[in-house]
């Protein structure tokens, strides 16, 4: 196992290691902390529906299989994994997103015992025709629940209007029809492809000993030959399919999701580009922005107003969402503010305030084991160093923000609205 010690005078140090079969490991000791947090994850999410392994034939699988596999991995011949963690007093969970699946636990004691459970069950798939059929019914109910969730539908309706080819527009859990096509053989094929150490990572932070963590990994990591995965690309133009989409559901007030589509011509955004995007959204519509105050004063938005830079492999967009009696007016105000900032420039005081706030948040994040580990996961997915964001924040200029603002093309925007159902 090759080790590298990464240091920062202010933030401390962590160890980055790579095993002989390609597993990435990030470990940060936090002396004095009362707990530890660990993730064992894979670069495998809902968008990985078409791929090939080791230069072989192209495989296409049903939507939702990554999420389905996550559910099934908690079952084993030894019983339910949640019960194993419960006996040690640890909290455990898992999640699947568009580009990753992560299995995690946090504990204040018995770290080595809990870590052993994590290493064991993630490397021990157990799928049968009977258990898969049972799970199909459970996940079908989950999918139907999300079909009626206004907050979920407003996002995916926007993505469906924004993307023509990319599977990011498909629900992470898939559809009732797609999961009906999943069987135990497909699960094993996807597991053996994406749950290979060469495609995985382990991230740990807290009251742990780095040498012991690395030793435990070396002793418990199964000797699996590296797999090379070719991920299918889904080319997208800058154009959107529709600039407006609306659906009626049981809501008291209209919900909206307004987004600008972004295309990077075959590459994904860099760490600096992601950091600039976050600052841009704060300057455009954060709590200290002119737009936010105007929308609030005019009664166009309420407390449920937020923005995020939404990106992953092959997709990227700026998203602003909330509640409003007039979502169209909100979207028009956003477009007008983008044009104003490009024309007039950014108030240096606002930029400095936003940068200081972001810098403070980035530094404060190192006081949280969960925050550290989640940043480690980002490093494992996208590359880069755990300390990169803090360093980049020191260097960003208003020109960087303006150049990114110019990419917010009105023709590449989508407004998604969930409106109240009409009575009667």
Residues taking part in catalysis: 70
Judge residue 314's burial from the number of C-beta atoms within 10 Å of its C-beta, 0-12 exposed, 13-18 middle, 19 or more buried.
buried
Q: Which two tokens stand for residue 178?
A: 């797609």
Q: Can you give the three-state secondary structure of 291-355, one letter per residue?
A: HHHHHHHCCCCCCCEEEEEEEECCEEEEEEEEECCCHHHHHHHHHHHHHHHHHHCCCHHHHHHHH
Distance CA 34, CA 38 (A): 14
Count of C-beta atoms within a 10 Å radius of residue 407: 18
How many other CB atoms sit within 10 Å of the CB of residue 84? Answer: 21
> What is the spatial distance between Cα 359 and Cα 182, in angstroms, rounded to a whole number?
45
User: 379 with 386: CB under 8 angstroms?
Assistant: yes
- In sequence order, the 6+-apart residues with CB closer than 8 A to the CB of 272 are 392, 396, 400
Contact, 39 vs 27, CB < 8 A? no
């Amino acid at each position: 196992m090759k080790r590298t010690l990464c240091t920062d005078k202010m933030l401390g140090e962590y160890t980055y290691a790579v095993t002989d079969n390609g597993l990435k490991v990030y470990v940060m000791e936090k002396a004095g902390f009362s707990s530890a947090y660990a993730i064992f994850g894979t670069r495998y999410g809902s968008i990985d529906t078409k791929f090939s392994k080791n230069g072989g034939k192209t495989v296409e699988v049903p939507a939702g299989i990554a999420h389905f596999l996550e559910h099934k991995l908690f079952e084993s011949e030894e019983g339910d994994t949640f019960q194993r963690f419960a006996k040690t007093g640890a909290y455990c969970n898992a999640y699947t997103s568009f580009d990753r699946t992560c299995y995690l636990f946090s504990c204040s004691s018995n770290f080595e015992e809990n870590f052993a459970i994590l290493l064991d069950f993630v490397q021990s798939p157990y799928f049968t025709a009977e258990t898969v059929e049972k799970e199909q019914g459970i996940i079908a109910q989950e999918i139907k629940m999300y079909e009626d969730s206004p907050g979920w539908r407003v996002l995916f309706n926007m993505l469906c209007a924004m993307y023509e080819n990319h599977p990011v527009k498909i629900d992470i859990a898939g559809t009732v029809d797609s999961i009906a096509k999943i069987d135990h053989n497909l699960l094993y094929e996807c597991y053996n492809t994406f749950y290979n150490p060469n495609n995985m990572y382990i991230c740990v932070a807290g009251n742990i000993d780095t040498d012991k963590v690395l030793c435990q990994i070396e002793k418990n990591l199964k000797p699996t030959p590296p797999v090379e995965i070719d991920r299918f690309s889904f080319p997208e133009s800058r154009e959107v399919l529709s600039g407006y989409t609306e659906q009626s559901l049981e809501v008291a007030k209209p919900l909206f999701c307004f987004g600008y589509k972004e295309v990077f011509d075959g590459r994904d955004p860099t760490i600096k580009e992601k950091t600039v995007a976050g600052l841009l959204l704060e300057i455009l519509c954060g709590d200290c922005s002119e737009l936010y105050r105007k929308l609030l004063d005019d009664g166009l938005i309420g407390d449920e107003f937020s923005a995020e830079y939404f990106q992953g492999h092959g997709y990227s967009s700026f998203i602003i969402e909330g509640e409003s009696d007039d979502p169209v007016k909100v979207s028009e105000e956003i477009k007008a503010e983008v044009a104003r900032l490009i024309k007039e420039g950014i108030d240096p005081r606002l930029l400095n305030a936003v940068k200081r706030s972001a810098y403070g948040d980035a530094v404060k994040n190192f006081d949280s084991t969960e925050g550290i580990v989640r940043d480690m996961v980002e490093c494992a997915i996208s590359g880069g160093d755990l300390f990169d964001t803090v360093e980049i924040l020191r260097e960003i200029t208003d020109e960087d923000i303006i150049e990114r603002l110019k990419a917010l093309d009105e023709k590449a925007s989508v407004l998604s609205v969930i409106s109240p159902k009409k009575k009667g």
